[in-house]
Chains A and B, each alone.
Chain A
Amino acid sequence: MAEYKGIERRLVFRLLDYWENKKDGRKMPSLDDIKASELGDDWDWCFLILLGDEGESATFHHIGSLIWPVDREPLVGKEVSFSPDDSLIQQATRFMPRVMELGVPVSIGGECIDGGDKLLYRSTLMPLSSDDKFVDALFGGANCRKVTNK
């Protein structure tokens, strides 16, 4: 896991800190607490997911352009299950059930292939709740770097 030292980790730590600060005495912040203007450049590495009843029919509310380039078919408004296999966004959302089950942030790293490039990525997924009881949205972030063959 030594490859992840550096920028990938710093983004995750920043997002975890942001989520932690937004809790403000609650178990977790709400979707309304997440502000693009407060996240600056990190917003392009972030995504938001809305959850339906009992966590089903999860749909994208926002996907940063650095995770899902704007020249691709838009995923906003579509179900998370439409994410292409092994893409960065698919990898970054694959542990959704665990976040909903535990109600705490989960951070995972690994390898994936996106846009024909082999990537090393680190992602985090954090729960959001409007009533501090049920997880009704997710806030995530991921960044990556290309794997260069030596």
Chain B
Amino acid sequence: MSQAVSFEVDTYQSNRWVLECVLDDKDMALSTAKRLYDSKRFSAVRVVQETFDEDSNSSRERVIFETTVADRDNRAAKQQASPAKVDRSERQALKKRPRQATKPAAKTARKNGPSLWVLLLWLIAILAGGATLLYYLQRL
């Protein structure tokens, strides 16, 4: 079976595809299509692979590359929509929290109520006062 493959580069002009050139090399055809597209003179370009079967004298066509202005716009929009890079210049390096910062807070928390020793003294004073009162009442 004998087959000949060629690649046609088409541009889209005035609502129809126009043949621009024919090459036998796929990479060259793709490069040519991209160069034509980059010239921004065409709304779309494509590469059609044509396989000609000499035995059956018939050809088969297949679009292997196509790009349009919409594709270009989409790519541009996607690039614009991508999140802005974080400006790390204003960010300061993270530091460990100073160890002293926790202790004063604890002390401050304890100062909010009476200390244990004060409560104990109050208890002793109440007990002593109660014992003195009982002793005085017994003496009456």
Contacts and interface: CB of A to CB of B under 8 A. Distances in A.
B53 interface: no
A108 B24 CA distance: 6
A107 B25 contact: yes
Interface string A29-68: 0000000000000000000000000000000000000000
A106 B28 contact: no
B21 A16 contact: yes
Contacts of B23: 106-108
B28 A9 contact: yes
Contacts, number: 42
Contacts of A13: 28, 31-32, 35
Interface stretch (A73-81, A97-105, A129-137, A142-150): A97-105
B9 to A, nearest CB: 9
B27 interface: yes
Nearest to A106: B22
Instruction: Please classify how large the interface on chain A is, using the bins under 10, 10 to 19, 20 to 34, 35 or more.
Output: 10 to 19
Contacts of A17: 35
B140 to A, nearest CB: 124
Nearest to A19: B21
Contacts of B25: 1, 4, 9, 107, 109, 122
A12 B24 CA distance: 13
B80 to A, nearest CB: 31
B54 interface: no
B19 interface: yes
A102 B19 CA distance: 8
Contacts of B71: none
Given A13-B31, A16-B32, A107 B19 contact: no
Interface of B: 19-28, 31-32, 35
21 contacts: A1-B26, A1-B27, A5-B27, A9-B28, A13-B31, A13-B35, A17-B35, A102-B22, A104-B19, A104-B20, A104-B22, A105-B22, A106-B22, A106-B23, A107-B21, A107-B23, A107-B25, A107-B28, A108-B23, A109-B24, A122-B25
Interface of A: 1, 4-5, 9, 12-13, 16-17, 98, 102, 104-109, 122
Given A106-B23, A107-B23, 4 more contacts: A4-B25, A13-B35, A104-B20, A122-B25
